[in-house]
Amino acid sequence: MVNRLSLYLRELQQLTRDGTETTSSTRLGELLGLTGAQIRKDLAYFGQFGYPGIGYRCHELSEQIRNILGTSHTWPVALVGVGNLGRALLRYKGFSLRGFEVVALFDVSPTVVDTDVEGLPVFHLDDLADTMRVRQIRLAVLSVPAAAAQQVANRLVVAGVEGILNFAPVTLSLPENVSTVGVDLAIELEQLSFAVVNRTENA
């Protein structure tokens, strides 16, 4: 359900950029392929943000959703694993607009440790705990090979990480006080394959 909140935020920010002052749950639903009732219900869970007869003020609701998601202030993020995917994520500047900034890079390969990538120094994984403390980092992006993911995750946990965005195609085993979100690109393609193969039955 919270993932829909992110969709609302994305759309509301787009509307704000387009100069739209207010919108309604029905209109937002059309843009996202959802019913207005569902959007109102989702928002109602967290409070009252709309104006009967008017709708929602786009910018105002954006700010409210950012409060709910915890992205009102920018999170400093560590990126662990400066390979191809790591570098691509780093170059992707869309994060900063949404409240996240990669501030430290980590790897173990001697070919990248102590070099600069995209203007940021690459530290050895051994410096994890120190750097995370100094830079007040609580979230990490994990873009290391699948075989190393669990081990590196363990080190992140020891260093005090609170959330891991995991790009390795493995299920991480973590203490319950550490949150994790996994992104597996092959899985997304599989979902697409299923949808295409079973399309006739849906439509």
Partner DNA sequence: TAGATTGTTAATCGATTAACAATC
Residue 16 lies near a second copy (rule: CB under 8 A): no
The yes or no reply on residue 32 touching DNA (CB under 7 A) is no
Cβ atoms of 52 and 22 closer than 8 Å = no
Least gap, CB of 138 to a second copy (angstroms): 7
Contact 133/109 with Cβ under 8 angstroms? no
Region near DNA per CB under 7 A, out of 24-32, 81-89, 147-155, 166-174 = 24-32
Partner from a second copy, DNA, none binding residue 24, C-beta < 5-8 Å depending on class: DNA
Residue 182 backbone dihedrals phi, psi, to 5 degrees = -110, 140
**Distance, CA of 195 to CA of 197 (rounded, Å):** 6
- Using CB under 8 A as the binding rule, whether residue 104 contacts a second copy is answered as no
1 vs 203 by CB, closer to DNA: 1
- Which of 22, 5, 9 is CA-nearest to residue 56? 22
One of 26, 74, 109, 179 touching DNA (CB under 7 A): 26
- Of these partners, DNA, a second copy, none, which one is at the site of residue 26 (CB under 5 to 8 Å by kind)? DNA
Q: Which does 11 bind (CB under 5 to 8 A by kind): a second copy, DNA, none?
A: a second copy
- Binder of residue 106, out of a second copy, DNA, none (CB less than 5 to 8 A by kind): none
Query: What's the min distance (Å) between Cβ of 29 and DNA?
Result: 9
Helix, strand, coil % (nearest 5) of the chain? 50, 20, 30
**Rg of the chain over all Cα atoms, to the nearest angstrom:** 20
- x/- contact string, 56-95, with DNA (CB under 7 A)? x---------------------------------------
Among 54, 134, 187, 195, binds DNA (CB under 7 A): 54
Residues 6+ positions from 86 with CB-CB distance below 8 Å: 79, 80, 105, 141, 143
Q: In angstroms, what CA-CA distances link 160 with 47, 101, 140, 165?
A: 32, 18, 11, 15
SS3 81: coil
Q: Which amino acid is at 195?
A: A
Among positions 52, 136, 196, 201, the unique one binding a second copy when judged by CB under 8 A: 196
Footprint of DNA (CB under 7 A)? 1, 24-27, 34-38, 40-44, 48-56
